Structure 1
């Protein structure tokens, strides 16, 4: 009985050693992984910047198009002859 207890006690560190080593590695690398995640959350990648810029430009062009259309309609309502400068680009 005593021999079996000693044998199990001798094998226990070998069986558990991998788990302890993995835990030690995880604890040691935790600050690095946490820092990289925070940096990823706080920075904008180039593809995100391009997408945001494209969205911003499309909204601006749509706004300008609506304004030109409004000015063109006002000009036509006043029966002026110089309304072509306000005509939307698609109709020129």
Structure 2
């Protein structure tokens, strides 16, 4: 009984050695991983930038469509006072209020 206990205690550092080494490695690499994650959160990838630009353009086009529809309805109601559309145009930097 005593031999088994002594062997178990003697083998414990060998069995736990891998765990301790892995934990030490994780502790050492943690700041590098944290810095990398922070950089990922702080920067915008090209994919994200393209997606955001597309979303903004779709919103602008929807706004232009709504305003053109209002203009056409006003022209149908009063054709004498109707001129060419002079409202908001999607992608026009001068007319962009957003």
* Aligned-residue RMSD, C-alpha: 2.3
**Alpha-carbon offset, residue 36 of structure 1:** 1.1
The CA deviation at 1:44 is: 1.4
Larger Rg: 1
5+ residue gaps, structure 1: 87-92
> What is the match of residue 90 of structure 1?
none
State the TM-score, normalized to the length of structure 2.
Answer: 0.69
Moved over 6 A (4+): none
Unmatched segments (≥5 aa) in structure 2: 86-98
SS in 1 for 2:80: coil
Give me the TM-score of the superposition, normalised by structure 1.
0.73
Alpha-carbon distance in 2 for matches of 1:66, 1:3: 87
Assess, with a 3 A threshold, how the Cα gap between structure 1 residues 74 and 10 changes in structure 2: closer, same or farther: same
Higher RCO (C-alpha under 8 Å, 6+ residues apart): 2
